[in-house]
Amino acid sequence: MFEKMIETAVEKALDRRTVRPERKLSLEGYHPLPEIMGALYEWLMIPFRDTEILVEVRYPRSTQLPDVDKLYAIINQQKNEKKLTRQNMIDYLNIQEQCCKAVLNRPTFEELEEAIYGKDCVLRQNRELIKELEAKIKEIDNETSRRELREQFDKVELFCGYILPDDTMAALMNIALGVDVSDIRKLTKEKLVAAYSKARLYGGKPSDFITGIFTDGDRQNIDDYATVVGGEDEMQRRKKK
């Protein structure tokens, strides 16, 4: 009996995170994430350094998120070049952190940060060190010394700037973007090229010719990617003629 109760509880939990086929059919197209999930708030277990913590998330609309187009551009750059510049890394982490702030409702991002690291002496010392290094960099004229201080400053800044665990940040960002519920990951290059070709032939946007369930923020990304891969495919076909 006890096992049956656990099984029922698990099924209910999974059901809340699954968009059923009949609901997908009625929601075909592009919709705000709260509409897809059928709720604005939800309590979820999220990863935290190989364990889990319970938080209440708030499903945001795409207009409440940071510049995720820049996020995807950085991800694509990493795929192509295999290495990110320090500035790209900072931009990526900043966007990731803003997504976390948009999603966390209880506790808030600031409350979670304080609860975890409020008594962290090392963090507090490094934040003080940042202030000291900033002041020294402004005072020193020697270029070599300034560069050495800047390198030290960069390392300490990264240590202090993003202090939630990587798995927690990644999970919250995926929730914010609706990665687990949108069909965006099912799109292939072939589907995007076909949508681009149809848009060129019949008019409209590539996203008009893509079927599935997507967040309202997915539309622009689909149009952008379809235009890129479709344009490349078009150029290759011309070269072969």
Residues 230 and 140 in one domain: no
Position 197 scores a pLDDT of 93
In a domain? residue 8: no
Over range 25-37, report the average pLDDT: 80
Residues 108 and 225 in one domain: no
Number of domains in the chain: 2
Residues 145 and 236 in one domain: no
Q: Give bridge partners of residue 30 from the DSSP assignment.
A: 214
In a domain? residue 3: no
Position 3 scores a pLDDT of 43
- What integer best gives the mean pLDDT of the chain? 79
Distance CA 104, CA 115 (A): 14
Over residues 105-131, the pLDDT tens digits come to 999 988 887 777 766 677 777 778 878
| Burial group, residue 99, by CB count within 10 angstroms (0-12, 13-18, 19+) | buried
Over range 88-115, report the average pLDDT: 86
In a domain? residue 41: yes
Residues 86 and 111 in one domain: yes
Query: Which of 140, 159, 181 is the C-terminal boundary of a domain?
Result: 181
Position 12 scores a pLDDT of 47
Range scoring the smallest mean pLDDT among 72-76, 165-169, 231-235: 72-76
Residues 76 and 56 in one domain: yes
Position 175 scores a pLDDT of 92
In a domain? residue 199: yes
- Which of 19-33, 63-77, 128-142 ranks highest by mean pLDDT? 128-142
Position 238 scores a pLDDT of 79
Phi, psi at 199, each rounded to 5° = -65, -40
Position 103 scores a pLDDT of 93
In a domain? residue 2: no
Position 78 scores a pLDDT of 67
In a domain? residue 12: no
Position 207 scores a pLDDT of 92
Dihedral over alpha carbons 158, 164, 170, 173 (to 10 degrees):
-100
In a domain? residue 37: yes
Q: Judge whether residue 139 has pLDDT over 90.
A: no
Residues 122 and 192 in one domain: no
Residues 114 and 197 in one domain: no
Residue with tokens 């967040």: 215
Distance CA 27, CA 17 (A): 16
Residues 202 and 239 in one domain: yes
In a domain? residue 156: yes
Residues 41 and 124 in one domain: yes
Higher pLDDT, 179 or 55: 55
Position 13 scores a pLDDT of 46
Residues 173 and 202 in one domain: no
Query: What is the domain range of residue 218?
Result: 182-241
Position 82 scores a pLDDT of 65
Range scoring the smallest mean pLDDT among 74-83, 87-96, 159-168: 74-83
Helices 68-81 and 86-103 pack at an angle, to 10 degrees, of 140
Over residues 158-202, the pLDDT tens digits come to 666 666 888 898 899 889 988 888 888 888 889 999 999 999 999
Query: Which of 159, 181, 203 is the C-terminal boundary of a domain?
Result: 181
Q: Around Cβ 228, how many Cβ atoms within 10 Å?
A: 13
Residues 40 and 104 in one domain: yes
Residues 130 and 162 in one domain: yes
Q: Judge whether residue 99 has pLDDT over 70.
A: yes
Predicted model pTM? 0.67
User: What's the length of the chain?
Assistant: 241
- Which of 8-12, 31-35, 136-140 ranks highest by mean pLDDT? 31-35
